[in-house]
Amino acid sequence: MNKEEHIKATAKEIFFFKGDLHATTQEIADAAGVNRSLINYYFRSRDNLFEIVYNEAVETMRNQLDNVIYSKQAFKDKLKSLIEVYMNEILKYPYKESFLITEICSKNVLLKEKKKSQALIAFIEEVRQEIEKGTIKKTDPVHFVINLFSLMAYPIVMAPLYRKLLDLNKEKYKDFLSERKAMVFKLITE
């Protein structure tokens, strides 16, 4: 059991799944069952640890999406794959997106070097072509893509809120999210 990797995995769970933004190095160390100083030994600083695990998590997501976007499938199949992959990934670390906004943007840490997404732009172009072909109904392709990601991500990211507002337990909400995969596809295409 590699402690360096184990610390990173634990930090990801705490930050991006549990959503404990303010977890101290001590809490992370406790959860990982290691001495706090090890965190400094391997990662030098808390900020650095955060940056590393964040980048890794983003990278994983990016790879998954790239695989789908650049795959050779019929457009509608690709769309189904995308929904499946993206919603599953975001369920793994639902707080990752919120942290991007609240932690990283204001710090200007990561967005500085972050360039426009080649894959996303390619996907928008593909959507444009499919609209021309008539595979899907006429829309602005940028809106189409943003709609798609909104419909997938928002209900997961905001789950704690809407579970309260709608008075649904975890089980019910899980079913609700499962239903959405087919529903989003339908709403977006037809």
Partner DNA sequence: ACTTTTGTTAACAAAATTGTTAAACATTAA
Partner DNA sequence: TTAATGTTTAACAATTTTGTTAACAAAAGT
Is 44 near DNA (CB under 7 A)? yes
Is the Cα torsion angle 18, 49, 56, 3 positive or negative in sign?
negative
Q: Which of 32, 95, 141, 185 binds a copy of itself (CB under 8 A)?
A: 95
Is 19 near a copy of itself (CB under 8 A)? yes
Nearest CB to DNA, comparing residues 2 and 169? 2
**Helix 170-189 vs helix 75-92: crossing angle, to nearest 10:** 150
Is 102 near DNA (CB under 7 A)? no
- Report the alpha-carbon distance of residue 111 to residue 172 in Å, rounded: 36
- Report the alpha-carbon distance of residue 42 to residue 45 in Å, rounded: 9
- Report the alpha-carbon distance of residue 172 to residue 155 in Å, rounded: 13
Using CB under 7 A, count the residues that bind DNA: 16
Shortest CB 60 distance to a copy of itself, Å: 17
Is 147 near a copy of itself (CB under 8 A)? yes
Q: Which of 57, 42, 74, 43 is nearest to 9 (CA)?
A: 57
Shortest CB 16 distance to DNA, Å: 17
Q: Which of a copy of itself, DNA, none has residue 146 at its interface (CB below 5 to 8 Å by kind)?
A: a copy of itself
Q: Which of a copy of itself, DNA, none has residue 3 at its interface (CB below 5 to 8 Å by kind)?
A: DNA
HSE value, Cβ hemisphere, 13 Å, CA-based, for 126: 18
Q: Which of 159, 157, 154, 153 is nearest to 172 (CA)?
A: 159
Q: Which residues here bind a copy of itself, judged by CB under 8 A?
A: 18-22, 95, 97-103, 105-106, 111, 114-117, 120-121, 139-140, 142-143, 146-147, 149-151, 153-155, 157-158, 160-162, 164-167, 176, 179-180, 183, 187
